[in-house]
Amino acid sequence: MKIALAQLNYIVSHFDYNKGLIIDAINKAKANKADLIVFSEMSVCGYMPHDLLEQHDFIVRCQNYITEIAQHCNGIAAIVGAPTINKSAKGKKLFNSACFISNGKIQEIRNKTLLPTYDIFDEYRYFEPNDKFEILEYNGTRIALTICEDLWDKQPIAYVQAKGQLYKNSPMEQLIKQKPDIIINIAASPFSYNQGKVRRQVLRENAIKYNLPLIYVNQVGGNTELIFDGDSKAINSKGEVVCQLPVFESDIQIIDTAKLNSTTPIPAVDEDNYIPRIHKALITGIKDYFTKMGFKTATLGLSGGIDSAVVVALAAEALGAENVRVLLMPSKYSSDHSVNDAVELAQNLGIKYDTVPIQPIVDSFELSLTKVFEGMEPDVTEENIQARVRGTLMMAMSNKYRNILFNTSNKSEAAVGYSTMYGDMNGAFSVLGDVYKTDVFKLARYINRNGEIIPENSIIKPPSAELRPNQKDSDSLPDYDLLDAILFQYIEQKMSESEIIEMGYNEAVVRKTLRLVNINEYKRFQTPPILRVSSKAFGFGRRMPLVAKY
Amino acid (1-letter code) at residue 246:
P
Q: Is 93 a catalytic residue?
A: no
- What b/e readout covers 317-350, taking b as 16+ CB neighbours within 10 angstroms? bbbebebbbbbbbbbebbeeebbebbbbbbebbe
* Distant-in-sequence, close-in-space partners of 543: CB < 8 Å, separation ≥ 6: none
**Does 48 sit behind a cis peptide bond, omega within 30 degrees of 0 on the bond before it?**
yes
Half-sphere exposure of 479 (CA within 13 A, CB side): 4
Query: Catalytic residue among 41, 240, 317, 497, which?
Result: 41
Q: Are strands 105-111 and 429-430 parallel, antiparallel or unpaired?
A: unpaired
Half-sphere exposure of residue 36, counting CA atoms within 13 Å on the CB side?
23
> E strand or H helix at 113, and its extent?
none
The span from the CA of 35 to the CA of 102, in Å, is 10
CA atoms within 13 A on the CB side of 399: 6
The single-letter code of the amino acid at 5 is: L
Annotated catalytic residue 112: yes
Count other C-beta atoms under 10 Å from residue 400's C-beta: 9
Q: Does the active-site annotation cover 452?
A: no
| Alpha carbons 183 and 232: distance in angstroms, whole number | 14
Residue 92: left (phi > 0), alpha (psi -120 to 50), or beta? beta
Burial class (CB in 10 A: 0-12, 13-18, 19+), 504: exposed
Nearest to 378 by CA among 391, 358, 362: 362
- The 8-class DSSP code of residue 315 comes to H
Nearest to 338 by CA among 218, 231, 424, 459: 459
| 293: amino acid identity, one letter | M
Spatial distance between the Cα atoms of 515 and 512, rounded to a whole number of angstroms: 5
Catalytic residue among 73, 99, 148, 243: 148
Catalytic residue among 45, 62, 73, 112: 112
Q: Are 211 and 172 in contact (CB under 8 A)?
A: no
3 state SS for 360-416: HHHHHHHHHCCCCCCCCCCCHHHHHHHHHHHHHHHHHHHHHHCCEEEECCCHHHHHH
The distance from CA 327 to its chain's CA centroid, rounded to whole angstroms, is: 28
Half-sphere exposure of 97 (CA within 13 A, CB side): 23
Picking from 371, 316, 301, the residue whose alpha carbon sits closest to that of residue 347 is 316
**Residues belonging to the active site:** 41, 112, 148
